[in-house]
Amino acid sequence: MDRSGTLLYDADCGMCVATTTWLGRWVPANRLGLLPLQEVATVPYIAARVEGRALAERLHFVRADGMVLTGARAGLAAGRLVPVLGWYAALLDRPLGHRLLEPVYREIASHRRVIGRLLGVPAECPLPVRALRQDRGAPASAGGRMSGRDPRG
């Protein structure tokens, strides 16, 4: 099963940007696209799948097959793509794991700006945005360029 996809994140949230920057360092661009939710309209494939959803309230992950995952499941979908740590996400990406993690996710998401400040994450960071294939909106092929600043330095 192809687990690649595009993670939509809040570009106005320092913790969200820091997390996606970290993911961008560990997960190849051909497996994980990163797209600020504020730019969703620029990618028709993604926009069509998340139209009418409250994007700012929950994390969204659009899989390559078009399925949209939200909340803890979206975080687990992205986490599964991280080398080594993906095994832990795979163990939790089950119904019991979803039931356990969703309340934790909701608490973190509802307090993300406060948590970010407590962790010393700047309110604004350079945005990690990965080029997306125009045909499907899936992550760019290996070696794909990043638009904006490259989070890998």
Judge if pTM exceeds 0.85. no
Q: Where are the alpha helices (DSSP H) in the chain?
A: 14-26, 44-50, 71-79, 85-92, 95-110, 112-118
Q: What is the pLDDT of residues 44-88, one digit of tens each?
A: 999 999 999 999 888 999 999 999 999 999 999 999 999 988 899
Q: What is the pLDDT of residue 36?
A: 93
DSSP 10: -
Residue 52 CB contacts under 8 Å (≥ 6 apart), including other chains: none
Sign, CA torsion 47/49/52/56: negative
Q: pLDDT for 9-31, tens place per residue?
A: 988 888 888 889 899 999 998 99
CA angle 139, 64, 71 (to 5 degrees): 95
Tell me what pLDDT residue 137 has.
47
Domain boundaries, the chain: 5-148
Collect contacts of 52-57 with beta carbons under 8 A, ≥24 apart. 55/8, 56/10, 57/109
